[in-house]
Each structure stands twice: as C-alpha cells, then as structure tokens.
Structure 1
Amino acid sequence: MLDANIKTQLKAYLEKITQPIEIVASLDVDAKSVELRELLQEIDSLSDKTSYREDADAQARKPSFMINRPGTDISVSFAGIPMGHEFTSLILALLQVGGHAVKLDEAVIEQIRNLPGDFVFETYFSLSCQNCPDVVQALNAMAVINPRIKHVAIDGALFQQEVQERNILSVPAVFLNGELFHQGRASAEELLAKLDAGDTEARAQALDAKDEYDVLVVGGGPAGAAAAIYAARKGIRTGVLAERFGGQVLDTMSIENYISVVETEGPKFAAALEQHVKAYDVDIMNLHRAAGIRREGRQILVDVDGGGQLKAKSVILATGARWRELNVPGEQEYRNRGVAYCPHCDGPLFKGKDVAVVGGGNSGVEAAIDLAGLVRHVTLIEFGEQLRADEVLQRKLRSLPNVKIITQAQTTEVLGDGAKVVGLRYLDRQGQQSHTLDLDGVFVQIGLVPNTEWLKGSEVALSRHGEIEVDVRGATSLAGVFAAGDVTTVPYKQIIIAAGEGAKASLSAFDYLIRNSADVQEVAEESATA
C-alpha cells in the first residue's frame, strides 16, 4: 500500500519511538477493512517497538484502530484510513504515543495536564481537508499528555450515516462528550482556551504587565510575519499580537506563485512563517484580537478584546482579510450546516448531492470545477453579465457535463428546513423574476473583506471599502502607526505582495523610531559599528 520511498521515510521516523506501542484494529470483511489491515501491518513491519493485533470488539466503528501505550491509559484512535492530509496525523500519533516529545510550549502542556474532568472527543474530517489535520493532531497530542482525554478521528466520507445523523456539513467538526464543541481549524491553544475559559482575567493582566514595545505588529499573516522579522533583526523590542498565526494563508489550499517556492500548501507555509519568526527574539501573543488603538502622548495604546492593553512606540497593522459573506437571510443560520466557504474541506461531505457556488471569479470557478468531480450537480451563480475568471478556467468549467452557469443572478436567500440547507433563492436581474433552486449546499466564493471593524471611530483613516489608507511608505493617518497586507488600500491581494509590504512597513517604522527615539538611535548606532 505504501511505496518504497514512503516506507523508508516512515521507518526512519519510527526509530524515534522510545516506548513500545500496540496497534489494535477493529475490522470486518469489506474492502476498506482489507485496505486498513494492509496499511497497519506494513507499519508494524517497520519497527520492532510496534505490535499489531485485531479485536473486532475493541471499537464499534469499522474499520478503525487504536494506538496504545501498553501499561498506561494513553491511547488515540482513528476510524477510517488516515491517508491524504491525515497521513501526517497518523505518523505523529505513532511517535507521540511511542514516547516522542509533544511539541507544545511547556505552559500549554502543563495546562492540558491539569485540566479537571474527563473528555471524550470525536473529530470528523475529510481526507482532502487542509484544515482538519491541525485539529486532529492537537487533540491527539492532548490525549497523549492527559490520559483523561480520549480522542477518535473519524473520516466523515466513510461514515456517512453518522455524518447525516449529526447534520455535519462542514469539517473539521469536533464533538465533546456527544455534543458539538467546535467547527473549523484550531490549534491546541485555541481548543484549550475553549475548555479552560476561566483564565480570561489572568490573560488580560499578563498583557497589561508587558513592557512597552518598540514595534508592535497586529496580525500574524505573511505581512505581519515579515514585519516582525525585519523589526527583530534591528535589535529592537518586537511583539506580535495575532488572532491566529498564519491568518488567511491557513485556509489556502495550494500556493504556486510565491517566488522560489514551486508549490506548497497554506498550512505548511503558515507553519514556516511562524518558525521563521520564532527564530528571532519576538514576543508572540497568539489567540488575541485587537479591539482599539489610540495615541496618548508619545505612546500608542492597543486595547485587546477580552481585556488587557499593550503599549508601543510604533505599531504595524496587518490584520488581513476574510471571506466576504453574502449577507442574505439564512446564511448565518445555516453556516456549517450547508453554507460553506472551503470547497476543499467540505466538498467530500456533499458527495452525490446538488450544490451551488456563488461567485464567478477565479476562486468561484475553481471551486465549481473541484466540486464537479465530487457532487452530483453544481450550479454556479454570478451576479454580473459574465464570469470574471481566467479564460482557461472558464473553458474547463464549461466542458463539465454536471455544471450549470447562471449569470445576472443575485442571491437573495439561503433556504433551510431548520436543520440544514435545502435550497437557494435568487433574483434574475434581467427579468426581475425570483427563482428557487433545490440544493444541499451553498459554497460562497465572492472575494474578501478587510478586518478593520475594530478601527472604525479611531484616528486611522479607512477607505470607503473599509481598507486602511496608506502612503508609499506604509504610513497611516495616525503618527507612528503603519499598515501592510490585504487590510490596506495596496492593490493585488497576493501573499508575496503582503510579505513585501510588511517588510516595507517595518523599515518605515524603524525609520520613524530613529527620528523620534534616542533609545532606538543608540541601537542603530551599535548595529552599525558591530
């Protein structure tokens, strides 16, 4: 099942196991059970610290398997065959159950270890979902750290009956003790924050206690990461406040236009950004959202949602953008219950069903092409008179037999039955007639909106589209505050442009500091003579 190269690499990884592990499979006679048996036996043959056995009564779901550390309560489980994006999750589970260190901050590990109570997690994933591995790996790691935490990762495409019974129309979907707990990408820190929400006051106090930064970067995407690196390399006190490090890149399937990187996936690129920033002396404050900004004398103050305030001599705003919503009745009510924004993640859950894609740009047409290979039928709905996607994509789309294109159509409502999406209503803009489509899912692909709601009413000027207005140096209307990336008026929302703008804003901030701070002038002079 595994080719020779993968076996060689996996064998090398398994040499890092320090404690014996036991793989216990629950199988039946179907083809997927046969396939899983072959995979697990191949893995067992690659290490003398693994053992394999079958126990049909060990788990109700079939095919499934547990990875146990004998003599302990440490165990993680998979229901299905964790290949595709989840193959890395399988490797990490083998290593961590086998004694290899979990790579989390010691404070986070200690907080996980001290969680009170028992927790049984079930995570539904799809093999094509680039967001799912983060959640699966985080909960597996938590189960290894704290044996009172149990976790099973379930391939939703393989266990369709469960998916339908639980009305799961978006992955990853995490259930805790039988109740829906979380949907969407999340790190161990984010999941832990939801479990242990009582530390809000302590988190706010910790922010208040931090010393003044020379440069405070708000946002952890490509622009924010580049800004932080350029600032830290100047030897000045640098901090990053981020809601989730990596930003929108985390939701990007494939990156093929970042110069010198032929091809990569968004989550991998985001991890590389974070690793690069951590190579420098940067204070990263993750899982925090800025709530306001103002200047008081020589200081710039940034208020943090949930409490706490940070002080800085200069600030770089790089809060990025997010998927634009339809803002029609039914969209929020049926979000993750048929309304989706990631075709790669959620597409497999709509196998054999009818869906619509709203948006005729590149992202919308690409989504329709991808979905056409999975679902029964795709209807693409475009507001304008014609599609806006590249011609090569349009030709591919029009060649598909199970796709219908409707132009000059304004989506007016997402319809549901109280539990899930059942249709979509749109207005024919030419004839002014209302039409209804019977559907199981609606994928929204209509562009981006800047994350600037928190700046409204501040001294930072925004364009009529809500973007931060910047000059050629990245300076905003508020002295000492700069901005970069998709949140600004700079055209062409591309990763490489955001990174370059982040570097430029950081250099501009340093120049501002030199002209306004004797301390930074001394640092610059020391760097020049070193």
Structure 2
Amino acid sequence: MLDATLKSQLQGYLQNVTQPVELVASLGDGPKAAEMGELLEDIVSVSAGKVTLRTDGDDARKPSFEIRRAGTDVAVTFAGLPMGHEFTSLVLALLHVGGHPPKVDADAIEQVKALDGDFVFETYFSLSCQNCPDVVQALNTMAALNPRIRHTAIDGALFQEEVAARQIMAVPTIMLNGAEFGQGRMTLEQVLAKLDTGAAARDAAKIKAKEPFEVLVIGGGPAGAAAAIYAARKGIRTGIAAERFGGQVLDTMAIENLTGTPHTEGPKLAADLERHVRDYEVDIMNLQKAAKLIPASETGGLVEIVLENGASLKSRTVILAPGARWRQMNVPGEDTYRNKGVAYCPHCDGPLYKGKRVAVIGGGNSGVEAAIDLAGIVAHVTLIEYDGKLRADEVLQRKLKSLPNVTIITSALTTEVIGDGSKVMALTYNDRGTGESHTVELEGIFVQIGLVPNTEWLAEGGVALSPRGEIEVDAKGQTSVAGVFAAGDATTTPYKQIVISMGDGSKAALSAFDYLIRLAPVEAREAA
C-alpha cells in the first residue's frame, strides 16, 4: 500500500511513539478493505514493535480501524482510507495517541483536558478537501488529550448511503453526539470556543489588558501576514488580529502562480505564513473579528479597533487587511440550502455529488475550472454564465467544451434555488435574450462568481469605501483616515492575487513605519 519513501518517512515518525499503540480493524469485504489491511500491516511493519494490529473489530462501519493507546480509553477512528490530504492526519493520530505531545498552545491543552462531559464527534471528509485535515487533526488531538472525547473521521465518498441518510452535502461536516455541530474549516481553538462558553469572555479580558501597539494589523491572510512581518522587522510593537489566520487562502486548492513557488496548496501556504509571522515578536490574536474602527481624532491620539467580543485594541497606526469572501447569488433559496446542495468549494464537496447532476454558476476562470473538475466526478454539469460569453482563459474554455457531460448556458440570470425543504432539487434561470424562464433539475449548485470585500464593519469608521465596498487607498496604501492603511483583496488595488496582496501588505507596513517616524517629532514638540 505504501511505497518505500512513505514507509521510510513513517518509520522515522513512529520513533517518537512513547506508549504502545493498538490498531483494531473492522475490515469487511471489498477492495477498499483489502487496501486498508495492507496499509495497517505496513504501519505495523515499520513501527519497531510499538504498534500492533488486531482484525477482530466490530465497528458497524466497514472498512474502518481504531487507533487506541493500549490499555486505555484514548482512541480515534478512521472510517475509510486516510490517504491524500488525510495521510498527515493518520501520522499525527498515531503519534498523539502514542504519547507524543501535540504542538498545541499549553493553555489550549489544559482547556481540552478540563472539558467536563462526554463528547462523541464524527467528521465527514473527502480526500480532495483541503480544509478537512484541519478539522480531523483538531478533533483527533482533543481525543488524544481527553479520554472522554471520541472522534471518528468518515470518508463521505466511501459511505455514500450513510451520507445520504444523514443528508451530508458539504465537507467537512462535524457531528457531536448525533447532532450537527459545525461545517467548514475549524481549528482546535474554534472547536473549544464552541464547547467552552466561557472562553470568549476570558479572551476579551486578556485583550482589554493589552498595551497599545505601534502597528496593529487586522486580518491574517497574505496581506496581513506580510504587513506584520515587515512591521515587526522594524523593531516596533506589532499585533495582528485575525478572524481566521490564513483567510481566503485556506479555501484555495492549487496555487501555481506564486513567484518562486511553482506549486503549493492554500492550507500549507497559510501555515507557512503563520510560522513566518511567529518568527518575530508579533502578538497574534486569532479568532478575533473586528466590529468597528474609531479614528484617532475621536479617541485623543490612538486608533481604536472594537472587536466583536466587546474588547478593544488601540494602536498608533492600523493596517486593514480583512480580505474577501465568496460572492453569493442573492436569490431565493440560496441561504436555505447552503451546505444542503448550495456549495462554494468544488474541491471540497465535489466527491459528495458523484454520479449526480450539478450546476456551476459563473463563467470566469474559477467557474470553468470548477466545471472541468466536477465533470470527472458527477453525471452532468450545467455551467450558467450571466454574460453573453464565457470570460475564462481560452485554454480552459477549449477543455470545457471538449467534455461530453457539460452543458454551457450563457446570457442567463439565475433566479431561484428550489428544494424539498432538506436538499436542492433544481434551479431556475431567465434567458436574458428572450426573457423566458427555465428550470434545471439537479442535486448540487456550485457558486463561483467572484469575491466581496469584508468591509461592512467599516461603514461608520470614516474610512472611504468605493461603490463596491472596497477600501480606497493611495499609492502608499494610506486610507482616508490618518494613521490607517490598508492592503489586499479588500482594497481598490486592482487584480486580486496572492502575490499582489503580499506586496500590498509590505508596502502598507513600510508606509505605517514612515508615518510613525514623521509623527514622532510632532508629538515630541507638542509634548514640550
């Protein structure tokens, strides 16, 4: 099952196991069961006796296997083959169940251990989902730290009858004690925040006690990370508050146009960005959503950022890098059936629609690429574009038009998502040429119509926004408010690209530092 390279790597990792691990397999029949058996035997063969295998498991899900700390209740379960993106999850589960300490903040570890209650988690994942490993690894880590927490990671593509019965239509989907707990990417800290209701208040108290910064960055994507690095390298007090570190990059699959990096994936790049920021003395405040900006002219000298939890951060300068999110169709039924047939990540959720009919909304590069990818999985793809022609690169259009199970509809305005109360059944669109309404019967809709800036919270802060809601900036990244700069996808800077956001963030930090240098003599004169 594992090639020589993976076996060698796994052998090296398993040297860190300090407590005996037992694999308990419930294999059943079929090719996937045989593959799982080979995988488990390969693990045992390179473990130097630290891992043993039993094949008498009685789990109702087959094939599956449990990773158990021998003689204890500490265990995690994989229902399906944890390969692809999930191979790292398998390795970490072996290490953490085997006693190797996880790389988690000490406070978070104690918080997990202190959770009072019995928590049975189930996560539905797909092997092509780049966000799923974060959830699987977070919950596996929690299960390894607290024996009253159990976690099973389930490959939705392998257990399609179960997925259909539980109406799982997006990954990752997390169930807790049989009820839906959450969907989408979640870190260990985010899971804890939902379980531990007092965590938000404790975080707010810590934030209120912080001294003012010289540069405060709002947003943890490429622009925010670059800004924090460039500011910290100047030796000034720097903080970064992010709703989720990595931002939109976390939802990106393949990245092949980042200069100097021929290929990477969004979650890996996000982890690299955070690692780089942590190389400097930057106060990172993750899971913190900004709610309001109060300019220095109203506070007596410092820019204030009010957070959603009620706490405030103050700084001499602020760099806004809140990024953007997927644009919605804003038609009846979209909100009702989000994650119940309406999806925004074809890489993540595509495998759940194997053999079904889906639509892709949008004829730009993202939409056409999504349609091409989905055509290899689903029964049929209908691509719907508002414009009179596709806007994607010609090479992508040629590939799309060569596929036999794709229908392209242009000059079409999507008007409604139709469902049966629990899942999507169809969509309607108007032909912009004739005005006629049409219905397309389908099971899934993937929306790929661009981004909208995360700037609604700035409406009352005096920061000038464009008609599209983008932060207006000059050549130096300065906004209309003194001491407030901005960078990245939320600004009027054209071309929303990772490399441009990084440059924007660096420029904004240098501009903020220049502003501080010029401001300091003025403040000294006024103080005198």
TM range (shorter): over 0.9
Q: What is the alpha-carbon distance in structure 1 between the residues aligned to residue 316 and residue 461 of structure 2? A: 17
Contact 2:24–2:57 (Cα < 8 Å) also in 1: no
Matched, 1:470 2:473: yes
Contact 1:236–1:520 (Cα < 8 Å) also in 2: no
TM-score w.r.t. length of structure 1: 0.97
Matched, 1:329 2:354: no
Letter in 2 for 1:302: I
**Other structure's SS at 1:55 match:** coil
Q: What is the alpha-carbon distance in structure 2 between the residues aligned to residue 506 and residue 318 of structure 1? A: 11
1:317-358 CA deviation, whole Å, 9 max, x = no partner? 000001100000000000000000000000000000000000
TM-score w.r.t. length of structure 2: 0.97
**Other structure's SS at 1:99 match:** coil
Q: What is the alpha-carbon distance in structure 2 between the residues aligned to residue 420 and residue 407 of structure 1? A: 26
Task: Indicate which of 398, 404, 407 corresponds to 1:404.
Answer: 407
Matched, 1:92 2:92: yes
1:19-71 CA deviation, whole Å, 9 max, x = no partner? 111111001122211110011001110012110111142x1110000001112
Letter in 1 for 2:308: D
Letter in 2 for 1:72: T
Contact 1:17–1:100 (Cα < 8 Å) also in 2: yes
User: Which of 345-354 and 197-206 deviates more?
Assistant: 197-206
Matched, 1:450 2:457: no
Q: Which runs of 4+ in 1 moved over 3 A?
A: 518-521
Matched, 1:203 2:203: yes
Matched, 1:461 2:494: no
Q: What is the alpha-carbon distance in structure 2 between the residues aligned to residue 441 and residue 269 of structure 1? A: 29
Letter in 2 for 1:42: D
Q: What is the alpha-carbon distance in structure 2 between the residues aligned to residue 9 and residue 127 of structure 1? A: 21
**Other structure's SS at 1:517 match:** helix
1:228-261 CA deviation, whole Å, 9 max, x = no partner? 0011111111000000000000000011111111
Q: What is the alpha-carbon distance in structure 1 between the residues aligned to residue 431 and residue 198 of structure 2? A: 51
Tell me the CA shift for residue 6 of structure 1: 1.2
Tell me the CA shift for residue 443 of structure 1: 0.2
Tell me the CA shift for residue 314 of structure 1: 0.2
> Equivalences for 1:118-137 in 2 at 5 Å?
118-137=118-137
Contact 2:129–2:349 (Cα < 8 Å) also in 1: yes
1:138-179 CA deviation, whole Å, 9 max, x = no partner? 000000011110000000001111100111100000000000
1:527 maps to none
1:525 maps to none
Q: What is the alpha-carbon distance in structure 1 between the residues aligned to residue 19 and residue 516 of structure 2? A: 53
Contact 2:250–2:267 (Cα < 8 Å) also in 1: yes
Contact 1:28–1:56 (Cα < 8 Å) also in 2: no
> How high is the sequence identity, in percent, across the aligned residues?
66
Matched, 1:383 2:378: no
Task: Indicate which of 376, 390, 393 corresponds to 1:373.
Answer: 376
> Equivalences for 1:510-521 in 2 at 5 Å?
510-517=513-520
Q: What is the alpha-carbon distance in structure 2 between the residues aligned to residue 327 and residue 99 of structure 1? A: 49
> Equivalences for 1:290-329 in 2 at 5 Å?
290-295=290-295, 296-329=299-332
Tell me the CA shift for residue 208 of structure 1: 1.2
1:7 maps to 7
Letter in 1 for 2:143: A
1:53 maps to 54
Contact 2:218–2:241 (Cα < 8 Å) also in 1: yes
2:239 maps to 239
2:441 maps to 438
Task: Indicate which of 498, 503, 517 corresponds to 2:501.
Answer: 498
Contact 2:92–2:137 (Cα < 8 Å) also in 1: yes
Q: 1:45 to 1:427 in 2, by over 3 A?
A: same
Q: 1:234 to 1:422 in 2, by over 3 A?
A: same
Contact 2:292–2:460 (Cα < 8 Å) also in 1: no
Tell me the CA shift for residue 437 of structure 1: 0.5
Tell me the CA shift for residue 400 of structure 1: 0.2
Tell me the CA shift for residue 284 of structure 1: 0.4
Contact 2:293–2:460 (Cα < 8 Å) also in 1: no
Contact 1:356–1:379 (Cα < 8 Å) also in 2: yes
Q: What is the alpha-carbon distance in structure 2 between the residues aligned to residue 510 and residue 63 of structure 1? A: 58
Q: What is the alpha-carbon distance in structure 1 between the residues aligned to residue 338 and residue 89 of structure 2? A: 27
Number of residue-to-residue matches in the alignment: 520
**Other structure's SS at 2:256 match:** coil
Letter in 1 for 2:381: V
Q: What is the alpha-carbon distance in structure 2 between the residues aligned to residue 253 and residue 292 of structure 1? A: 32
Q: What is the alpha-carbon distance in structure 1 between the residues aligned to residue 431 and residue 343 of structure 2? A: 23
Q: What is the alpha-carbon distance in structure 2 between the residues aligned to residue 397 and residue 387 of structure 1? A: 11
Letter in 1 for 2:130: Q
Q: What is the alpha-carbon distance in structure 2 between the residues aligned to residue 201 and residue 154 of structure 1? A: 34
Structure 1 stretches lacking a partner, 5+ long: 522-530
Contact 1:205–1:308 (Cα < 8 Å) also in 2: yes
Q: What is the alpha-carbon distance in structure 1 between the residues aligned to residue 426 and residue 32 of structure 2? A: 33
1:400-455 CA deviation, whole Å, 9 max, x = no partner? 00000000000000110000000000000000000000010000000000000000
Q: 1:440 to 1:386 in 2, by over 3 A?
A: same
Q: What is the alpha-carbon distance in structure 1 between the residues aligned to residue 199 and residue 242 of structure 2? A: 18
Tell me the CA shift for residue 520 of structure 1: 11
Letter in 1 for 2:444: G
Contact 2:27–2:63 (Cα < 8 Å) also in 1: yes
Task: Indicate which of 415, 424, 428 corresponds to 1:421.
Answer: 424
Tell me the CA shift for residue 519 of structure 1: 11
1:67 maps to 67
Q: What is the alpha-carbon distance in structure 2 between the residues aligned to residue 24 and residue 377 of structure 1? A: 40
Tell me the CA shift for residue 517 of structure 1: 2.4
Q: What is the alpha-carbon distance in structure 1 between the residues aligned to residue 499 and residue 364 of structure 2? A: 20
